[in-house]
Amino acid sequence: MKISNININKISLKKAFMLLTATLFIIGGFFVATPHAFAATVTTAGSGNWNSTTVNAPWPLGTVPVAGSDIIIANGNTVTVTANIANSPATITINSGGQLTVGGFTLAVSGATTVSGTLAITTGTGGTKTFTGNVTINSGGVWNETVAEAVTFGGNLQNDGIFTASTGAHTFSGNGKTIGGTNAIAIPSLTITGTGASIVTNNGVLTVSTTLAGADTLANGSNATLNIGGTSSITTLTNAGTISRTGTGTTTTALANFTKALLISVVLEQSPASPTTLVV
Contacts of 230 (CB under 8 A, 6+ apart): 188, 208, 209, 210, 211, 212, 247, 248, 249
Closest CA to 181 of 199, 161, 197: 161
> What pLDDT, on a 0 to 100 scale, did the predictor assign at position 249?
79
> What pLDDT, on a 0 to 100 scale, did the predictor assign at position 38?
80
The answer to whether 150 and 127 are in contact (CB under 8 A) is no
pLDDT-wise least confident of 39-53, 158-172, 235-249: 235-249
The answer to whether 194 and 214 are in contact (CB under 8 A) is no
Direct distance between the N- and C-terminal alpha carbons of the chain, in angstroms, rounded to an integer: 91
User: What sign does the CA torsion over 63, 64, 67, 72 have?
Assistant: positive
Calculate the CA dihedral of residues 47, 144, 224, 175 and round it to 10 degrees: -70
Q: Is 237's pLDDT higher than 60?
A: yes
Distance from C-alpha of 189 to C-alpha of 203, rounded to nearest angstrom: 18
DSSP character at residue 88: -
Mean of the pLDDT values across residues 214-236?
93
> What pLDDT, on a 0 to 100 scale, did the predictor assign at position 127?
84
Total residues belonging to the chain = 280
Distance from C-alpha of 259 to C-alpha of 106, rounded to nearest angstrom: 42
Cis amide leading into 89 (omega within 30): no
> What pLDDT, on a 0 to 100 scale, did the predictor assign at position 196?
67
Strands 2-3 and 6-7: antiparallel
> What pLDDT, on a 0 to 100 scale, did the predictor assign at position 75?
98
Work out the burial of residue 43: count CB atoms within 10 Å of its CB; fewer than 13 is exposed, 13-18 middle, 19 or more buried.
Answer: middle
> What pLDDT, on a 0 to 100 scale, did the predictor assign at position 8?
46
The answer to whether 199 and 219 are in contact (CB under 8 A) is yes
> What pLDDT, on a 0 to 100 scale, did the predictor assign at position 229?
92
Q: How confident is the model at residue 276 (pLDDT cuts 50, 70, 90)?
A: very low
- For residue 269, the tally of other CB atoms under 10 A from its CB is 12
Q: How confident is the model at residue 22 (pLDDT cuts 50, 70, 90)?
A: very low
